[in-house]
Chain A
Amino acid sequence: EPEVTQTPSHQVTQMGQEVILRCVPISNHLYFYWYRQILGQKVEFLVSFYNNEISEKSEIFDDQFSVERPDGSNFTLKIRSTKLEDSAMYFCAGSMGRRDTEAFFGQGTRLTVV
């Protein structure tokens, strides 16, 4: 069964450093998403991406964040200058349609900023 793959599974970075989180979505999906879960809290929507551009972003997704799909398979989330409060689990997800179709999630990348 096809699945969403995220790398790395865990990343530790120094405050102020740039990080890139990577995702390989399911091949026939058209909509792509990043979500964030701070430890012990609920999962929060960050951004959606469709047709090679951002479809929607939440208020969490500020200028420190960017997304791209550079080669038609990978989907990346970049944080330019990490802060302690960026420490969280980041999930990539994809779906065939927009909000009314099932979303499939990757296993997550745990980001720790020290």
Chain B
Amino acid sequence: GIQVEQSPPDLILQEGANSTLRCNFSDSVNNLQWFHQNPWGQLINLFYIPSGTKQNGRLSATTVATERYSLLYISSSQTTDSGVYFCAGAYSGGGADGLTFGKGTHLIIQP
């Protein structure tokens, strides 16, 4: 199966700052998703983005499939953005049905 590496593992920012989270994957994917895990443990779908760029409010994501990475941008951070951000992918060449998750980026937004 594929390997998914996320960076940085931890990030502490002041409210209002911008951030970029990165996800590298070891092989080509036909599914790449970003999730936010809130303090209650819920996984919130942010983006389904196997390629290209999408935006949703203050969040945007870009996946460059040929170079095997994806970026999540958070602008004008708010304290409610705190939590763990996971990317997860599925290998396009077959193999596991399920998504392979990275270890996550733990984001803390301080007031």
A100 touches B50 (CB 8 A): yes
Expressed in whole angstroms, the Cα–Cα distance for A42 and B50 within the complex equals: 20
Which residues in chain B, 37-56, are within 8 Å of chain A measured between CB atoms?
A: 40-43, 45, 48, 50
* Contact size range, A: 20 to 34
Residue among A43, A58, A110 making CB contact with B43, cutoff 8 Å? A43
Q: How large is the interface on B (under 10, 10 to 19, 20 to 34, 35 or more residues)?
A: 20 to 34
- Please encode chain B, from 82 to 111, with 1 for each CB lying within 8 Å of some chain A CB and 0 for all others: 000010101110001111111110000000
CB contact under 8 A between A56 and B48, given known A102-B33, A103-B33, A108-B42? no
Closest-by-CB residue of A relative to B1 is A45
| Beta-carbon contact of A91 and B43 below 8 Å | yes
Known contacts A42-B104, A89-B41: A103-B97 contact under CB 8 Å? no
Instruction: Give Cα A104–Cα B99 distance, bound, in whole angstroms.
Output: 11
CB contacts between A and B, total, < 8 Å: 68
B20 part of interface (Cβ distance < 8 Å): no
Tell me if A80 counts as interface (CB < 8 A to partner B). no
Residues on the B chain within 8 Å of A89, using CB: 41
Identify which of A99, A102, A104 contacts B91 (C-beta below 8 A): A99
CA–CA, A31 and B96, complex, Å: 13
Bound CA span A35–B43, Å: 11
Give the residue of A35, A55, A99, A105 whose beta carbon is less than 8 angstroms from that of B31.
A99
In the assembled complex, which residues on chain B have CB atoms less than 8 Å from the CB atom of A110? 41
CB < 8 Å: which of A55, A102, A104 contacts B97?
A: A55
Please pick, from B30, B41, B43, B102, the residue contacting A100 in the complex, using a CB distance under 8 A. Answer: B30
Give 5 pairs: A residue, B residue, CB < 8 Å, sorted on A: A31-B97, A35-B99, A43-B86, A43-B99, A56-B96
Further pairs besides A91-B43, A99-B91, A100-B30: 17, Cβ < 8 Å: A31-B97, A33-B97, A35-B98, A42-B86, A43-B86, A43-B101, A45-B96, A45-B97, A48-B98, A98-B97, A99-B97, A99-B98, A99-B99, A100-B90, A102-B31, A105-B35, A110-B41
